[in-house]
């Protein structure tokens, strides 16, 4: 295979809602490029994408598929991404390592929630977008309505380059207003018949052509001047203007295909090869030190590993992008993240499960390799002259969590190893062994996401697993000051144990003044602060420990033991056994014995005194509250709001955003455990949401009573 140079390589992410036809389009692209001799079908389980067993079982994409096509002496690396929001990690990865995105629209549906979500990500990443309307032969397709919808949502930057002469079952021809030609196909698609535009379409075509010329001229001063002089541009000038418009996101071209019948696919590839920006025409990438790393084949070599796939009989296949330099078979590298040495024994370019051997790849290209010793997704390999690291891919927070356990407890370790391998393939999995909740938690993007994990675990790994409702990480705190004392005394022959601790607990808040005078009943306690220690608790909040002992009632050497005893009780609050936080403890008095006092005695005395005082200090349970953003079609807004209010959510805002309503609220984690499923059910899968931890807040009184009662019963 020819070695393509940086200025001959284009990297493209293929995105779109579930069912928009990405896998079918992939088959047509590969067929037109001559990489496959016949197009596969999803129903026959013989497509280049969706070749993993779990994808064939469920009939939807779970992983991204990397493939390439050679067209007109250009190399197009294309990454076909899953459409479901549950597998958004693969789409985000593809967008980050690609330069242009194709957003596929299903002709019958137009702009869907997946379209909106993917477009928002392209916006954040500054990636060019081409809208591609597919399935024009569907009887419910209305191209003019889709165009109107796109313009309404994304504005005047949406510029059609093609339009169908007729939609529905009779679709077989397009008008291309860039080339000003009519493209027609026979029943089998493939190579088009190219003709002059018929008279009955000329007025519409000319109007669209003028709009395209004007849009292309806007992004280059020289072209704009020429446009003002002659009101037209040559074909090459238009291509240049469109390329610049794409790169700056000043233009979103609209193309048409019927991928299932291979109509329009060849023309799309011509446009991708001739017009889409090359790797070296895109915004610069920075390493973790903020330094620009240009895709220069002559620079020191750095490889960024963006995807891991585990394939039967092969093991791990590692996919990478050449960020700079040139990589050859047999090159030695250092892993910038792990410090290990690696040799690239074999180099391949990809076409789904097929791999084609190559001897070298240059900056900007995408390839894969096998049998690396210690490379994980997100790692960077450098040659001896390079010191780059990259971490430019940011994944969304999880939205759906479940506790997971092996049905056979003896397989727990085996299950954990399999979970960690799966996380290598999909970094949006978060695996957590929670000491606090005494559960293994799996956090993902939705119920679909976890169902896929269960299928793979039970069918590929042969490990039966059980999902349970995850426990909620509640916290305990106090709402008023309280006092307690406790004497620990034990005598059992020889040296005994003795320690007595008097202390006061009170709620802690940032910036509170030093303790002074406290009144409990008719008694006044005046504090004389000798020392303060602030402990930042690993589970959030603080414990402030104040030594206010006077007259040597407790030797200073026993104070750390008292603190240790208090910390033990902070780890198991008296109400529900959850962690306690935001408490100030003032030890002001006590007693010791010249022989029997030791660290253990004071640790136990401090622990028990703290527990007594905590119970008297108006203890309250805190629950985790999350910020939630829901993107919902306006016709479903009322249903979604009503459901959220039933989940104790507090609505904080509403606004329209690109044709969808954005609803913001604060909601308790307890009420959001099945929200992913409920929202999909309420809106027919047309809504999406994101969450982020906000704070801990007091639970309502009735909820606290239930939690305390449940804990007592469990105990």
406 touches 412 (CB < 8 A): yes
Measured between alpha carbons, how far is 185 from 164 in angstroms, rounded to an integer?
12
Rounded CA separation 28/391 (Å)? 34
Q: pLDDT tier at 330 (50, 70, 90 boundaries)? A: very high
Give the C-alpha distances (Å, rounded to integers) separating 456 from 54, 56, 57, 85, 419.
7, 12, 10, 19, 10
pLDDT band at 234 (very low <50, low <70, confident <90, very high): confident
Q: For residue 454, name the pLDDT band (cuts at 50, 70, 90).
A: very high
CA–CA separation, 22 and 475 (whole Å): 46
| Angle subtended at Cα 48 by Cα 46 and Cα 52, rounded to the nearest 5 degrees | 75
State the Cα–Cα distance between residues 23 and 19, nearest whole angstrom. 9
- pLDDT reported for residue 42: 63
- Model confidence at 50: pLDDT above 60: no
Instruction: Name the more confident of 367 and 61.
Output: 367
206 has pLDDT over 90: yes
SS3 content of the chain, % helix, strand, coil (to 5): 30, 30, 35
Which residue would you say has higher pLDDT here, 49 or 635? 635
pLDDT digits (tens, 9 = 90+) for 600-649: 999 999 999 999 999 999 999 999 999 999 988 888 899 999 999 999 99
pTM above 0.85, yes or no: no
Model pLDDT, residue 683: 87
Please determine, for residue 58, whether its predicted confidence score (pLDDT) is greater than 70.
no
pLDDT in tens, 193-204: 999 999 999 999
Residue 347 has pLDDT above 80, yes or no: yes
Instruction: Express as a percent the part of the chain with pLDDT over 90.
Output: 66
Which token pair is 588? Answer: 């002001």
User: What's the confidence (pLDDT) of residue 49?
Assistant: 63
Which pLDDT does position 222 carry in this prediction?
A: 79
As given in the structure block, the two tokens for residue 71 are 């067209």
Pairs from 217-225 (Cβ < 8 Å, separation ≥ 24): 217/241, 218/245, 218/250, 218/251, 219/244, 219/245, 219/248, 219/250, 219/251, 220/244
* DSSP per position, 529-589: --EEEEEE-TTSSEEEEEE---TTSS-GGGHHHHHHHHHHHHTS-TTTSPEE-SEEEEEEE
| H-only helix segments in 173-198 | none
Which residue from 47, 41, 100 is spatially nearest to 76, judged by alpha carbons?
Answer: 100
Enter the tokens of residue 78: 């294309």
pLDDT tens string 495-514: 789 999 999 999 999 999 99
- Rounded to 5 degrees, φ, ψ at 620 are -135, 155
Q: Which of 276-290, 434-448, 515-529, 620-634 has the lowest mean pLDDT?
A: 276-290
Mean pLDDT of 68-77: 91
CB 545 within 8 A of CB 560: no
Instruction: Determine the pLDDT at residue 54.
Output: 67
| Mean pLDDT to the nearest integer, 36-46 | 70
User: What does the CA dihedral 345, 346, 347, 352 come to, rounded to 10 degrees?
Assistant: -140
Alpha-carbon distances of 685 from 283, 632, 636, 638, rounded to whole Å? 35, 10, 11, 16
Q: Where are the beta strands (DSSP E) in 100-176?
A: 100-106, 129-134, 158-160, 162-164, 173-176
Q: How confident is the model at residue 443 (pLDDT cuts 50, 70, 90)?
A: very high
Radius of gyration for the alpha carbons in the chain, expressed in angstroms and rounded: 32
CB atoms within 10 A of CB 191: 11
Q: Which residue has the higher pLDDT, 59 or 297?
A: 297
Q: What distance in Å separates the CA atoms of residue 598 and residue 448, rounded to the nearest whole number? A: 57
Instruction: Please give the Cα distance from 233 to 242 (Å, whole number).
Output: 12
Give the pLDDT confidence of 80-97 residue by residue, as tens digits: 998 888 889 999 999 999
Task: Give pLDDT, residue 31.
Answer: 85
Q: 305: pLDDT confidence band, cut at 50, 70 and 90?
A: very high
**CA geometry: angle 689, 695, 700, nearest 5 deg:** 95
Give CA–CA dist 116/12, Å, rounded: 18
Average pLDDT over the chain reads: 90
Is pLDDT at 48 greater than 70 in this prediction? Answer: no
Contact 1, 35 (CB under 8 A): no
Q: What is the mean pLDDT of residues 339-356?
A: 89
pLDDT at site 259: 93
Residues above pLDDT 70, as percent of the chain: 96
**Under a CB-based contact definition with an 8 Å cutoff, are residues 515 and 532 in contact?**
no
Residue 232 corresponds to which tokens in the numbers above?
């037209």
Q: Which two tokens stand for residue 184?
A: 């027609």
User: Which residues are CB-neighbours of 204 under 8 A, at least 6 positions away?
Assistant: 163, 175
pLDDT (average), residues 68-82: 91
- Give the C-alpha separation, 448 to 9, whole Å: 35
Q: How do residues 471-500 score in pLDDT, each as one tens digit?
A: 999 999 999 999 999 999 987 766 789 999
**Cα-Cα-Cα-Cα dihedral sign, residues 374, 10, 327, 294:** negative
8 Å CB contact between 604 and 623: no
> Confidence class of residue 13 from pLDDT cuts 50, 70 and 90?
very high
Q: Give me the pLDDT at residue 114, please.
A: 84
Contact between 661 and 654 (Cβ < 8 Å): yes
pLDDT of the residue at 52: 67
pLDDT at residue 537 in the model: 94
Q: What is the dihedral of CA 290, 296, 300, 306, to 10 degrees?
A: 70
pLDDT digits (tens, 9 = 90+) for 97-156: 999 999 999 999 999 888 888 998 999 999 999 999 999 999 999 999 999 999 999 999
Answer whether 550's CB lies under 8 Å from 528's CB.
yes
- What digits encode the pLDDT tens for the residues 524-552? 999 999 999 999 999 999 999 999 999 88
Q: How confident is the model at residue 44 (pLDDT cuts 50, 70, 90)?
A: low
Q: What is the pLDDT of residue 635?
A: 85
- pLDDT at 23 > cutoff 90: no
Range 687-714 average pLDDT: 90
Token pair for residue 14? 């293929």
Q: Distance between CA atoms of 425 and 55, rounded to whole angstroms?
A: 14
Q: In the beta sheet, which residues pair with residue 145? A: none
Segment 352-399, tens digit of pLDDT: 778 899 999 999 999 999 989 889 999 999 999 999 999 888 898 898
Q: Domains of the chain (ranges plus CATH)?
A: 6-281 (3.40.50.300), 285-382 (2.40.30.10), 400-471 (3.30.70.870), 476-618 (3.30.230.10), 622-714 (3.30.70.240)
Question: Is the per-residue pLDDT at 257 higher than 80?
Answer: yes
Closest CA to 149 of 109, 94, 100, 189: 109
């Amino acid at each position: 295979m020819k070695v393509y140079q940086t200025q001959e390589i284009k990297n493209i992410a293929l995105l779109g809602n579930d069912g928009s036809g990405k896998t079918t389009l992939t088959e047509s692209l590969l067929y037109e490029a001559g990489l496959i001799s016949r197009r596969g079908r999803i129903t026959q389980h013989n497509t280049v994408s969706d070749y993993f067993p779990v994808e064939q079982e469920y009939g939807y994409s779970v992983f991204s598929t990397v493939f390439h096509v050679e067209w007109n002496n250009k190399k197009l690396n294309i990454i076909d991404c899953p459409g479901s929001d549950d597998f958004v990690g693969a789409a985000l990865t593809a967008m980050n390592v690609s330069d242009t995105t194709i957003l596929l629209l299903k002709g019958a549906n137009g702009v869907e929630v997946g379209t909106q979500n993917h477009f928002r990500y392209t916006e954040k990443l500054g990636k060019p977008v081409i809208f591609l309307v597919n399935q024009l032969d569907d009887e419910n397709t209305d191209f003019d309505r889709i165009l109107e919808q796109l313009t309404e949502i994304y504005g005047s930057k949406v510029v059609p380059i093609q339009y169908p002469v007729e939609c529905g079952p009779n679709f077989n021809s397009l008008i291309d207003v860039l080339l000003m030609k009519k493209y027609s196909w026979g029943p089998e698609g493939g190579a088009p018949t190219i003709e002059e535009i018929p008279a009955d379409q000329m007025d519409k075509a000319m109007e669209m052509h003028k709009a395209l010329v004007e849009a292309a001229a806007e992004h280059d001063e020289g072209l704009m001047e020429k446009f003002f002089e002659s009101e037209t541009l040559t074909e090459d000038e238009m291509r240049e203007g469109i390329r610049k418009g794409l790169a700056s996101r000043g233009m979103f071209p609209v193309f048409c295909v019927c991928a299932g019948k291979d109509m329009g696919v060849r023309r799309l590839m011509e446009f991708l090869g001739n017009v889409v920006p090359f790797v070296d025409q895109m915004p610069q990438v920075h390493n973790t030190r903020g330094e620009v790393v240009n895709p220069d084949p002559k620079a020191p070599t750095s490889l960024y590993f963006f995807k891991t796939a585990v394939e039967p009989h092969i093991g791990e296949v590692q996919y990478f992008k050449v960020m700079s330099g040139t990589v050859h078979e047999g090159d030695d590298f250092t892993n910038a993240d792990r410090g290990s040495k690696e040799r690239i024994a074999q180099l391949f370019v990809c076409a789904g499960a097929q791999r084609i051997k190559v001897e070298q790849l240059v900056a900007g290209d995408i390839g894969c390799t096998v049998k690396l010793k210690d490379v994980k997704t997100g790692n960077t390999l450098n040659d001896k002259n390079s010191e780059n690291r990259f971490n430019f891919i940011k994944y969304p927070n999880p939205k759906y969590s479940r506790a997971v356990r092996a049905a056979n407890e003896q397989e727990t370790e085996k299950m954990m190893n399999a979970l960690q391998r799966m996380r290598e393939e999909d970094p949006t999995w978060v695996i957590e062994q929670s000491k606090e909740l005494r559960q293994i938690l799996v956090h993902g993007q939705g119920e679909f996401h976890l169902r896929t994990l269960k299928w793979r675990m039970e069918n590929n790994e042969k490990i039966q697993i059980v999902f349970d409702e995850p426990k909620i990480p509640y916290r305990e705190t106090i709402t008023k000051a309280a006092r307690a004392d406790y004497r620990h005394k034990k005598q059992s022959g020889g040296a005994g144990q003795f320690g007595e601790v008097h202390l006061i607990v009170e709620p802690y808040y940032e910036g509170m003044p030093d303790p002074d005078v406290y009144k409990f009943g008719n008694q006044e306690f005046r504090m004389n602060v000798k020392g303060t220690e602030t402990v930042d608790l690993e589970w959030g909040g603080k414990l402030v420990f104040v030594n206010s002992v006077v007259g040597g009632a407790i030797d200073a050497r026993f104070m750390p033991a008292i603190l240790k005893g208090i910390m033990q009780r902070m780890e198991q609050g008296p109400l529900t056994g959850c962690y306690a936080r935001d408490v100030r403890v003032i030890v002001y008095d006590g007693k010791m014995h010249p022989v029997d006092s030791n660290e253990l005695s004071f640790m136990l005395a401090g622990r028990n005194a703290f527990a007594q005082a905590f119970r008297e200090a108006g203890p309250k349970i805190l629950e985790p509250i999350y910020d939630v953003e829901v993107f919902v079609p306006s016709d479903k807004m009322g249903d979604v709001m009503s459901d959220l209010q039933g989940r104790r959510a507090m609505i904080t805002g509403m606004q329209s955003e690109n044709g969808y309503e954005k609803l913001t609220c604060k909601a308790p984690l307890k009420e959001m455990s099945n929200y992913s499923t409920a929202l999909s059910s309420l809106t027919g899968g047309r809504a999406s949401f994101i969450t982020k931890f906000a704070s801990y807040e007091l639970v309502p009184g009735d909820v606290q009573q239930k939690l305390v009662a449940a804990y007592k019963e469990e105990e």
